[in-house]
Every structure is written in structure tokens, then in C-alpha cells.
Amino acid sequence: MASDLVTGLQCRLCGKRYPKEALNFCTEDFGPLEVTYDYEAVARTLTRRAIAARPRTMWRYRELLPLDGEPTVGRHVGCTPLIRADRLAKALGVRELYLKNDAVNHPSLSFKDRVVAVALSKAVELGFRTVGCASTGNLAGSVAANAAAAGLEAYVLIPDGLEQGKVLGATIYGATVIAVEGNYDHVNRLCSQIAFRYGWGFVNVNLRPFYAEGSKSMGFEIAEDLGWRAPDHVVAPMAGGSLIGKIHKAFRELDQLGLLEAPARTRMFGAQATGCNPIAAAVKTGASKVRPIRRPETIAKSLAIGDPADGYFASRMLRESGGWSEDVDDDAIVEGMTLLAETEGIWAETAGGVTVAVARKLIEQGRIDRDGSTVLCITGNGLKTQEALIDRLARPAVIEPTLDAFESLVEGSRTNIKVETAALAAV
């Protein structure tokens, strides 16, 4: 049944149509290809009632994901928590704030499991046995983990110098992990050559149109969990600029299918690190082209793509939605990480710090209005970027195992130590 819903691929620049194959750019103008659907047919089966009756995974929206059959890889991915974040809201000075927490996505603790589940299921449909990716870190772990579980052979290429948690978090699954001298853009170019030479399925190269569609599931889940409403604002981190565009597309699709309570008018806000801000710079200067950053330099390594594949479309979409983009430096990123942890108990990776710090900046600038509803997309887990914090957080005090030692430590360092009588009575 699903095979009739996905009608093919289409060039985003010239509109030329292509069949459902492992192809990522238009042969006429090198424009990116996007999956097209028969929305009338989708509307016949994708109803709120049908969705509610399905398991809580990203596949409950399967009519809007580009597979011809049932998913075979990543069947448990998605439906991460949407959390009302009142303590962080208070700190940022907004009324209604939510966190979409993909730091706990299954199985590899980042939003990349969504795109990989689609790309590898599609790879199996197309008959690939060997898959791969060009990664800034999280994609590496997700491709390696999901390929292992599906019995596919995986080649994972990363820039030299990634965080240890990202490297180990790919190697453990038995993938062939290769560190390339240079930055992500070098890795990506090499992967295009490898995919072409060996005929393998690279999730974000020749399978990219299918891969990218997986990100829509984040938007579908946000709207469903808000009671079938699109929020007033979304802040999401940007690397290649794909995720943010797909969240926006998700709200538009739900709207078009009549699944929302009110028209989707979400203003989209893109977050980058100052050390690699090609999309934010284009939005802020109004440039029609995205100027690549030659040497990205930021602790937010997962976002360090100097020449973003979807930068042009992302920057246009951000402005057209009434949103904006900002960037923050490494100190602000760490402050964002600690603020999120201390107010909401969520340890996000550096990209999460970028999102929180950019949200704060946009609220202070008045670009995000304090009375609207705002969703911050937390896309990766802090356990994987420990290097960013190791020299910036206090180490634990070491004491002798005596009450005296404890008392002189805490009473010496804090003035508000209280003996709590309620607890004493219970002891």
C-alpha cells in the first residue's frame, strides 16, 4: 500500500522529476532532490485516530515517511519526550516553553536515529548490503548502531579530532570507522567519491532525499504532543540545515492534511555556533547565498559543517517563516548546557547548549515573543561531548570519611546550610 503514497523524487530548483532511486541531485542543475507524496492518498489512511492506535515510535506517521514497505531498520526510534520546562522558562523569561528531548532517542542518543532509520530501511529496500556516512559524530554512532542491528556492513567516515565518546560510540558496533585529515567538508567530498566508486548506500550522500525526510518525525511528534497544534516558535540547531527545514515541512504537511487544530504559523529559529555560522550569517545579512566557512572552530563539533548542503533553503525558510537565526560563542554554549542541566535535569551535548544559548539571545532581542509557545529541540546527549566540560566544571571535593570533614567542607563553603527537622523526625 505505502508504495503508491511515495510518488518519486523532484528537484527543488527546477522541479524535474526522478524515480525513487539512490540519487541526491538533479542531473540538470545539481539541485537537491526531495521526496514527493500523493497527499490525497495519504489523507485516506493517516487520521488522528489511526495514529493514536499505533505504537509510540516515529513510524506512527509512516505514510509521510518515504518507504515502499514496512520499516526494517530502526523500528523503535522516536516518540521521545516533549517536556514542559517551567524552570528554564522562568530563567529565560518566557511563559510557555517545551523541550523536545532527542538526547534520549533510541538507540544512539541523538536525533540522527530518525534519519538513519529511514535511510537504512530504504537502503534495504533498494538492495544495498553495505552502507556508510559522512559524519560530524552523531550520525557515525547512529549508522553504526542501526546497521549492526540490521546486519548491514557499515563504513563510517569522520573528521580527525572528534570527541572520544563519538568515536567509541561508533567503533563499539563493529563498523569500519575512518578518521579523515581535515574537516567535515573534506569527509563529505570523499564520501561522494566512495559512494560512486563502490556503489554503496551512503545515508547522507546518495540516500540523502530519503534520509532527510526522517527529520520530519520530530515535527510530527511535537505537534501531536501539543494536542495537534504547531507551536508559535521552534528553535533548532543547524549543521547542514536539513533538520530545521524538515520540522517546518512537518507542520505544513499536517496542516495540509487537516490534522491540526489551527493553521500552522510557526516561526522557525536556527541556532549555530559563532565558530561555524554560515547559515546564521546569511540570515543576519540577508545574503541570498550562503558563504562557506573554511575552518570551522567550535566545541559544537556536531554542528561544524562549513559548507551546509541545505543552507540556501534553510536561510530562506527561516526568514519567510518570520523567524531568524543567531550564533553563540563557546563560553555561551557551556553556559547553555549548564543552565539546561541545572533547571531541567537534562544533560545535552554541545549542540543543546547552542540551542539554549541562542534561544536566550533571541528572547532578549525580542525576536521570540515572551507570551508565545516555544519548543527547543535538544538533539544530542551530553555524555558524548565530555571534552567540552571537563576543564570547565568544578571537580568533586575529596574529604576524609568523617562527619567533621563533611561539616567543615559544607559549612565553610556555604552560608545557607540548614538542618531540616522534617527529615530528622522521619529518621
Ligand X SMILES: *Cc1c(COP(=O)(O)O)cnc(C)c1O
Judged by the rule CB under 6 A, the positions of this chain that interact with ligand X are 110, 112, 138, 237-243, 302-303, 349, 351, 379-380
**CA neighbours closer than 13 Å in the CB half-sphere of residue 354:** 33
Closer residue to ligand X (CB): 61 or 111: 111
Q: Which three cell numbers stand for residue 224?
A: 501531536
Residue 74 CB, shortest distance to ligand X, in Å, is 16
Residue 11 interacts, among Zn ion, ligand X, none and using kind-specific CB cut-offs from 5 to 8 Å, with Zn ion
User: C-alpha 13: how far from its chain's center?
Assistant: 25
Nearest by Cα to 83 from 61, 98, 71: 98
Residue 14 interacts, among Zn ion, ligand X, none and using kind-specific CB cut-offs from 5 to 8 Å, with Zn ion
Residue 33 CB, shortest distance to Zn ion, in Å, is 8
Closer residue to ligand X (CB): 201 or 241: 241
Closer residue to ligand X (CB): 156 or 259: 156
Residue given cell 554503496 in the structure block: 200
Residue 169 to residue 155: CA distance in whole angstroms: 14
Residue 380 CB, shortest distance to ligand X, in Å, is 3
Q: Which three cell numbers stand for residue 101?
A: 528531548
Residues that bind Zn ion (CB under 5 A): 11, 13-14, 16, 26, 28-29, 31
Closer residue to ligand X (CB): 89 or 303: 303
| Sheet containing 96-101, strands listed edge to edge, beginning at the edge strand earlier in sequence | 82-84, 96-101, 373-378, 233-237, 267-273, 324-328
Angle at which helices 330-344 and 350-364 cross, to 10°:
90
Helix (H) or strand (E) holding 289: none
Residue 382 interacts, among ligand X, Zn ion, none and using kind-specific CB cut-offs from 5 to 8 Å, with none
Residue 23 CB, shortest distance to Zn ion, in Å, is 12
Residue 31 CB, shortest distance to Zn ion, in Å, is 4
Residue 31 interacts, among Zn ion, ligand X, none and using kind-specific CB cut-offs from 5 to 8 Å, with Zn ion
CB-based burial label for 81 (10 Å; 0-12, 13-18, 19+) = middle
Closer residue to Zn ion (CB): 31 or 219: 31
Residue 281 CB, shortest distance to ligand X, in Å, is 15
Residue 25 to residue 9: CA distance in whole angstroms: 10
Residue 243 interacts, among Zn ion, ligand X, none and using kind-specific CB cut-offs from 5 to 8 Å, with ligand X
Residue 379 interacts, among Zn ion, ligand X, none and using kind-specific CB cut-offs from 5 to 8 Å, with ligand X
Q: What share of residues in the chain are helix, strand, coil (percent, to 5)?
A: 45, 15, 40
Residue 270 interacts, among ligand X, Zn ion, none and using kind-specific CB cut-offs from 5 to 8 Å, with none
Closer residue to ligand X (CB): 98 or 313: 313
Residue 126 CB, shortest distance to Zn ion, in Å, is 22
Nearest by Cα to 327 from 235, 206, 198: 235
3-state secondary structure of 153: strand
Residue 242 interacts, among ligand X, Zn ion, none and using kind-specific CB cut-offs from 5 to 8 Å, with ligand X
Residue 208 CB, shortest distance to Zn ion, in Å, is 15
Residue 340 to residue 286: CA distance in whole angstroms: 31
Residue 330 to residue 368: CA distance in whole angstroms: 22
Task: Provide Rg for the chain, Cα atoms.
Answer: 22
Check if the beta carbon of residue 150 is closer than 8 Å to that of residue 130.
Answer: no
Nearest by Cα to 334 from 268, 390, 288: 390
Closer residue to ligand X (CB): 138 or 315: 138
Closer residue to ligand X (CB): 243 or 368: 243
Residue 13 interacts, among Zn ion, ligand X, none and using kind-specific CB cut-offs from 5 to 8 Å, with Zn ion
Residue 30 CB, shortest distance to Zn ion, in Å, is 7
Closer residue to ligand X (CB): 187 or 303: 303
- DSSP state, residue 22: S
